[in-house]
Structure 1
Amino acid sequence: MACTHFPIAARLIPPKISQAVHREECTECFDSQDMPQGIDVCLHCFNGGCVDEQDGHGAEGGRHHARIHFEKTGHQLAVNIRRVRKPRPQTDNDEPPLKRLAIGEEREEDQYDFIRTVRCWGCGGKLLPDAISNLRVAAIVDGISESMSSARQSEVKAWEEEITACEHTLTLHQTPPSAIPPSGLAHCSKCDLTENLWLCLACGSLGCGRKQHGGVGGNGHGLEHYLETKHPVSVKLGTITPEGSADIFCYDCDESRLDPELAFHLANFGINVAIQTKTQKTLTELQIEQNLHFDFSLTDERGRALEPVFGKGLTGLANLGNSCYLASTVQALFALPQFQNRYLPSAELHAMLCPVKDPSQCLDCQMHKLADGLLSGRYSKPASHQTPPPVSSDLNTISDDAMPAPTFQAGLKPSMFKALIGKSHPEFSTMRQQDASEFLTYLLQLLRRDGQRKSVDASMEPPHIFEFGTEQRLQCKKCNGVRYRVDENEIVGINVPVRETGKMTEDAKIVYESVTLEECLEALHEEEEIDYRCPRCKTEAQAVTQTSFASFPDVLVISPKKFQLVNWVPQKLDVPLIVPIDGTLVLDKYLGTGQQEGEDLLPEDALEGATLPEFNATAMSQLEGMGFPTVRCQKALLATGNSDAETAMQWLFEHMEDPDIDELIALGSATASTGPEASPEQISMLSDMGFTQAQAKKALHETAGNMERAVEWLFSHPEADDDAVVEEHVPAPAKPIPGSTVLPAKYTLKALISHKGPSVHSGHYVAHIKEPELGWVLFNDEKVVKADQESVESLGKLAYLYVFEKAL
């Protein structure tokens, strides 16, 4: 082999089970093991790096993230992995179809051949074909090959929902033993259905479930049985495995649950868990299938397939399983010049200079990776192996004499990006469908934090383009005193009036009257009378409030709120909203005036340093999405410790009739200057993070002892040094309002994110983006097609988020 670095292999060890192994894809770009050059997996730390080079030496314009990894870490040895798809055997038409005895999965080894070769970067990228015969090296390579890839690890971890036992499964009381009919003969006790059967674990009654996606029938007789008997726990037949797992549902909790004694409870009805075979899909699997099969139209008004488009800025993102909310939001962000200019030109330079050892754990690295993947055009090409469209897709309705079905892209898999975002958020770490608006808010928050940690000027970072101020004006009608407050925002939430037409669609859905965007903005801006206790009058009085723009953002995101609560769950209403698809939105008349000459300020406004706390952005978005006014949401979060939407919602329902529920929050002078004394434990925890005791005391003082806010304060005040001391409150200089007050404030629609499904936490998201040369383009996961004008105007009325750019 003639490699002087090879002896170090004796000190290397195979990857541990918990260790991330990036063997499928480069951590700095989307080059993968399926490309001709394959992926180099570091034998030292198992990082994955691309090798777009000739014999390990850089070709002009080529990528070389594997070599950069060596230069940054000194890790010499790697194994190059290439994956080649095996040809599929032809099936004889006379061959009978396979019977469904169990739900299986085709193994990776059945589909692909793997070519593995050791490389030494210490020798300039030299390949060592004979090195794999070394027993030590072979053990490491086998460990890499047999390990669960980092992407698969994230996926499995996300699917493992925290299903727990409840008091009803732990204290289950059963009737005397009785046997149920054997498999194939069992049916619902109230109808003839033989699938989707739920066994009551209390008495053994068999009842069909509710109708589900994919043609799974059901009349809800299992639910009826619960309502009649109050027996809460049932198990779905066909989902029971020999390991003792199954689909268990508690009607009292209205949640999937765990039964630690399932085998014992099933034995009461003659069911031996050890010989069971899984033959039906679980509720989670059906939910995933439903969301993946929600399909937006991919044909025009004449029934012709929409034309796939390829090139720079036209790369699709594969659905990882309910990740369309992420894909649609990311596509809309990287369609904006500010995101393109921030991350694309510096992608290669960042890979060389970033000090983070593991690029998969660096948000900046993953944003650069996304920019390169989506905007370079490198990966925007027809897939070599096309996946058939869903059964529900209108592509299946194209006549035989029409054009052949289009070939779409394979799509990039944003697995590392999703895993990184989900590390600090319990919901985005799952594979469940999420709210695109909440994801946008959270991603911008993470980008701001990342910039603060690196002491980057916030005004130069992309999240700044969404920021603007809203002006809240209140005037007492008795003394005419006024109060002004300016809040920072990044999304405009508008309430959409719901007016039924009295008509129904063919599928029995209510038809609603169309509402214009201007009507909603007028409603947001109009004056409103509220009951108010004036601090000057010292009595109950009437006051007039009005919301205006204090400034305008470069990019305006509008979130129409069209929901109603059904069984405590927000259900989306298809109220058509008329927006200027290809026109101009002018906001000049909604600009606030600020304090005018001759206006007399109410006392609270004169108090120094009184500011509202930073509210939980995710909870605020959820509560406002349910239709609660902003001031009520803020009061609820203040009263419940700024925790979560569910706790705050309970408080709201308990205080709906409070006479001062709609009054603006009164801020006392002590709000920012006093609070509980910082405990030694809190100071110690912050000190463990690398902050000094003086900095910890200052942060806890400024945030009234709130640990989470104290950490945020420290990152946003890097100037707080060792000399920082807790002093009496001194008014801080006024923070400039983000955005601009320059008129005219004209906007054009750049993107719209649409949603199909009954709730924002189920269904499917897509994005329409207006490209300079192509016009409107539809991004539906990996499918990127030129959209027809009719579909854009139709979906534009029902979009979930609108992204407007300020017109120059």
Structure 2
Amino acid sequence: MDFDLSKINPPSADTPVYKDDCMFSFDTAFDDEGLDICMTCYQAFSRSKFDYTSQHSMLYDHHLFLNYRKVVKQRDIQKQHQHQPLKMLKLEVKEETEDDLFETKASVYDASIDATFPLSTKGLPEKLVITAKAIIRATSSEKKQEIKAWQQEIQPCRHSQKIEQIERSKHASLHQCDDCELDENLWICLECGNIGCGRSQFGGVPGNSHAVAHRKDHPDHHVAVKLGSLSTESADCYCYTCDDEVKVPLLAVYLKTYGIDLSHFIKTEKNLTELQIEQNVKWDFSMDSVSGESLIPVFGSGLTGFKNLGNSCYLASILQVIYSIPSFMNAYFSPDEGMPMEKIVGNTDPASDLETQMYKLGDGLLSGRYSVPDSFTTEKIKYQRGIRPSGFKSLIGKGHPEFSTMLQQDAFEFWLYLVSELDKQHIIGSGSEVPTEVFKCVLENKLKCTHCGGISLTKEVCDSVSVPVEEHLISTDDDGTRKYAFTTMEKCFNGWHQAETIDYQCKQCQGQKQGALKSQGFKTYPEYLVVNPQRIKLENWVPMKLMVPIKFNESLDLNSFKSEGKKDDEVELPKGEEDDTTFQFNANALEALISMGFPENRCKRALYTTGNRDAETASNWLFEHMDDSGIDEPFKVAANQPDSCKVSLKDVETLTSMGFGAKLAKKALIVNEGNVQQSVEWLFANPDDDGNIPKQPVKYDPAHKVKELEHMISNSSKYQLLGVVCHKGTSIHSGHYVAFVKKQVEGEERWVLFNDEKVVLAGEESLKEIEVSGYLYVYKRK
């Protein structure tokens, strides 16, 4: 055994160690041949269909690998029953881990001679064994990213920072609801000590909502704590007034008022975060009158499921639809080649390369190699194990305030972000252009002065359309559930297409404030139409989901919604008269904000003020500045962007004296129109800002793109439904997403339901759920 150990060293604590799946495929340590982890660069490869291990060895002269396998432990079921107590006591929450179910098998593989050596082999160099054991012990790169993403900060609210308490009856029990016999899922009111059961929860946790009822009877009692979540390391505290999970700074002191010593408590029930994760992972979106087991699993090419990572259903559902579009399939999937050689040669960090991740997803979803029944499950019906999109999720979300977290996110916002990133980075794959081109179309906006009749026409390139949802309330149940009349997608487009009256100052009318009719329509039709029904509505500035049913229809004709252009009796206003800014707003963020129900004027002001970054940052600013005077005044960048030389030096000095740099202080004053107090708030909210004044991004010449699309104009306005992303739940930031996609199954076109790793034929009943849950529709032009 003559090994070259010159490049071999144990990984340090900060070194990324990849051992969850292959860098170029979704082969894992659970497969028969396991993973080969390079002992030089700590990247993982596999020897399955494409033998990426040998390719890496030959290209980079890295020959020694740790072969890493996970094997199911042989469990003595009879012995377990013998040691199980006759009466199971409700004790501390404990769950089986991966280490309880699987054992690790490790050996050294020398690719240069195609030989494997168990770690117990006599004569193995000590340095080799030490390095191998260090790789085994190392926290995987995926787990490090997951831990980092779960570092969610729950903040105190004004109700939890100071609580006025009254004594609780000494004879009242802390172990049972004051209004019923439930002895679990109990919440204690921190104001009076009332014990009330919570809402019924996912997984069969009972609840009669008596804690909520107590709060309705006592509106000044804000904060309650879940008794079963209490320990020295955890506590579920919920503010009913803020409708959010909060931190209570003096929790131990408040609990002692009611005889509860936090240091003696052991957590006996799952907390809110754990229940949310479990719900996201296990939510049965069968949408059928029968149990989910009756749905027929399907397997094969293009029918691969995703393993839920805790909050990844929004991402998985979008990827299932997008990889069903031919331009994406052709760009990012090569059945005979696997990962293209140009992505292997010289690609020393494939985990950080978006194009590599897109190819990896294409192979995982479309090859069919991973679309097989899960042999590890004991379920009667075998679903798939599912591929884990952890590498892609980590990369695409890197640096993004929402998608880098482990919290549930908005699927439509993710669609917009993914399409934008592929465009911006020009990720073309094997094609000649970015596959997102199939979504692009030209919309024409028309503005008509109601006084002089003059019109202005502007064209813009879009890759998705958000349409209002027509709502006709039929009734409201006792529990507050609203029932709406059916609408149709055509009616939604009518609301999008019809003219609306807006405030307008026409310069041709000597600058007098006049009204104007604003309308929009299609100038060209996209090859694939992406539609988002605006199911999010602001009620008292709280985003609420509209459960309006949209009649399920697979056909759509957009002929009635094309732009009418300039009529013969209309006169165009001089070019530039209608323009009040040359600033290019982040189109995706602007559309997302408008779809939430914010007025366009406020959206533009928020985007500009927060640096034109993303919808999340802008929406946070909007919620914080709803009561600002002048928030609804017409927004004009030119009028709100004083030249930096006009910024008061005295104001700059005031801000720099607080420790901020001069460049950042100037920007704060510019974006806040010279208001020092608002500038201070902006500075504390944006401490990592680079201080650069936002400028119009130059991706391509918009006028040239408009002409290019108009030249390729198609007369067909008829579309057929390809896929729908559905959302189950009352809030977009919780609940569960699934995708329905039209697929070829055994030579027949069928609707297939992708519910994480469960890939099944969709029944009639489940298709009906699209009507109330459809959140993003993708149509193919006929």
Name the counterpart of 1:707: 692
Name the counterpart of 1:162: 153
Structure 1: distance between partners of 2:346 and 2:663: 32
TM-score normalised by structure 1 residue count? 0.80
TM-score normalised by structure 2 residue count? 0.82
Shift of 1:631: 5.5
Q: How many residues align?
A: 728
Name the counterpart of 1:44: 40
Pair 1:587-2:558 in alignment: yes
- From 546, 549, 553, the counterpart of 1:573: 546
Pair 1:526-2:498 in alignment: yes
Q: How does 1:233-632 map to 2 (within 5 A)?
A: 233-242=223-232, 244-251=233-240, 253-259=242-248, 262-263=251-252, 266=255, 270-297=259-286, 305-345=294-334, 347-350=338-341, 352-353=343-344, 355-386=346-377, 388=379, 405-451=380-426, 460-502=433-475, 509-537=481-509, 538-566=511-539, 568-581=541-554, 583=555, 585-595=556-566, 599-603=570-574, 605=576, 611-615=582-586, 617-618=588-589, 620-621=591-592, 623-628=593-598, 630=600
Give ranges in structure 2 of 5+ residues lacking alignment: 648-660, 668-689
Structure 2: distance between partners of 1:75 and 1:758: 52
Q: How does 1:225-240 map to 2 (within 5 A)?
A: 228=218, 230=220, 232-240=222-230
SS of corresponding position for 1:378: coil
Name the counterpart of 1:13: 10
Shift of 1:564: 3.7
Structure 2: distance between partners of 1:790 and 1:256: 35
Shift of 1:28: 1.3
Structure 2: distance between partners of 1:542 and 1:261: 56
1:15–1:140 contact (8 Å) kept in structure 2: no
- From 137, 141, 149, the counterpart of 2:132: 141
1:470–1:486 contact (8 Å) kept in structure 2: yes
After the TM superposition, which of the residue ranges 245-254 and 319-328 deviates more from structure 2?
245-254
2:187–2:211 contact (8 Å) kept in structure 1: no
Structure 1: distance between partners of 2:754 and 2:170: 50
Name the counterpart of 1:399: none
Q: Deviations over 1:598-650 (max 9, x none)?
A: 753324536899534223634641x3333345455335544666441132256
Shift of 1:316: 0.7
SS of corresponding position for 1:420: helix
Call closer, same or farther: CA 1:580–1:258 in 2, change over 3 Å: closer
Name the counterpart of 1:634: 604
Pair 1:111-2:81 in alignment: no
1:471–1:549 contact (8 Å) kept in structure 2: yes
2:373–2:385 contact (8 Å) kept in structure 1: yes
1:588–1:743 contact (8 Å) kept in structure 2: no
After the TM superposition, which of the residue ranges 78-87 and 612-621 deviates more from structure 2?
612-621
Call closer, same or farther: CA 1:317–1:328 in 2, change over 3 Å: same
1:502–1:510 contact (8 Å) kept in structure 2: yes
Q: Deviations over 1:566-591 (max 9, x none)?
A: 5643332332223531x3x2223422
Q: Which amino acid aligns with 2:152?
A: E
Q: Which amino acid aligns with 1:529?
A: T
After the TM superposition, which of the residue ranges 223-232 and 416-425 deviates more from structure 2?
223-232
Q: Which amino acid aligns with 2:460?
A: D
Shift of 1:79: 0.4
In percent, how many aligned pairs have the same letter? 35
Shift of 1:327: 1.0
Structure 1: distance between partners of 2:277 and 2:557: 41
Call closer, same or farther: CA 1:589–1:38 in 2, change over 3 Å: same
Structure 2: distance between partners of 1:446 and 1:473: 30
After the TM superposition, which of the residue ranges 788-797 and 19-28 deviates more from structure 2?
788-797
Name the counterpart of 2:19: 23
Q: Which amino acid aligns with 1:103?
A: V
SS of corresponding position for 1:113: strand
Structure 2: distance between partners of 1:518 and 1:656: 37
Call closer, same or farther: CA 1:601–1:376 in 2, change over 3 Å: same
Q: Deviations over 1:444-485 (max 9, x none)?
A: 122122228x9x999810122212222110111322211112
1:179–1:268 contact (8 Å) kept in structure 2: no
Name the counterpart of 2:761: 786
Call closer, same or farther: CA 1:166–1:458 in 2, change over 3 Å: farther
SS of corresponding position for 1:447: helix
Call closer, same or farther: CA 1:559–1:36 in 2, change over 3 Å: same
Structure 1: distance between partners of 2:702 and 2:209: 64
1:329–1:767 contact (8 Å) kept in structure 2: yes
Q: Which amino acid aligns with 1:771?
A: K
Q: Deviations over 1:347-394 (max 9, x none)?
A: 421564464422222211111111000000111111102264xxxxxx
Q: Which amino acid aligns with 1:626?
A: M
Structure 2: distance between partners of 1:88 and 1:15: 35
SS of corresponding position for 1:605: coil
SS of corresponding position for 1:216: strand
1:158–1:430 contact (8 Å) kept in structure 2: yes
Shift of 1:407: 1.8
Name the counterpart of 1:749: 721
Shift of 1:565: 3.6
- From 61, 78, 94, the counterpart of 2:65: 78
1:211–1:220 contact (8 Å) kept in structure 2: no
2:663–2:691 contact (8 Å) kept in structure 1: no
SS of corresponding position for 2:547: coil
Structure 2: distance between partners of 1:477 and 1:81: 73
Call closer, same or farther: CA 1:328–1:218 in 2, change over 3 Å: same
Shift of 1:114: 1.7
Structure 2: distance between partners of 1:293 and 1:108: 17
Structure 1: distance between partners of 2:599 and 2:609: 16
Structure 1: distance between partners of 2:284 and 2:714: 42
The alignment's C-alpha RMSD in Å is 4.0
Structure 2: distance between partners of 1:648 and 1:627: 12
Q: Deviations over 1:10-51 (max 9, x none)?
A: xx12341x4432112112110000111110112233211112
After the TM superposition, which of the residue ranges 761-770 and 671-680 deviates more from structure 2?
671-680
Give ranges in structure 1 of 5+ residues lacking alignment: 53-61, 389-404, 686-704, 718-730
After the TM superposition, which of the residue ranges 248-257 and 332-341 deviates more from structure 2?
248-257
SS of corresponding position for 2:706: coil
Call closer, same or farther: CA 1:223–1:285 in 2, change over 3 Å: farther
Q: Which amino acid aligns with 1:774?
A: E
Name the counterpart of 1:693: none
Name the counterpart of 1:762: 734
Structure 2: distance between partners of 1:462 and 1:674: 40
2:507–2:577 contact (8 Å) kept in structure 1: no
Call closer, same or farther: CA 1:124–1:470 in 2, change over 3 Å: farther
Call closer, same or farther: CA 1:566–1:291 in 2, change over 3 Å: farther
1:39–1:50 contact (8 Å) kept in structure 2: yes
SS of corresponding position for 2:324: coil
Structure 2: distance between partners of 1:494 and 1:287: 30
Structure 2: distance between partners of 1:614 and 1:299: 43
- From 736, 748, 751, the counterpart of 2:706: 736
Structure 2: distance between partners of 1:444 and 1:374: 18
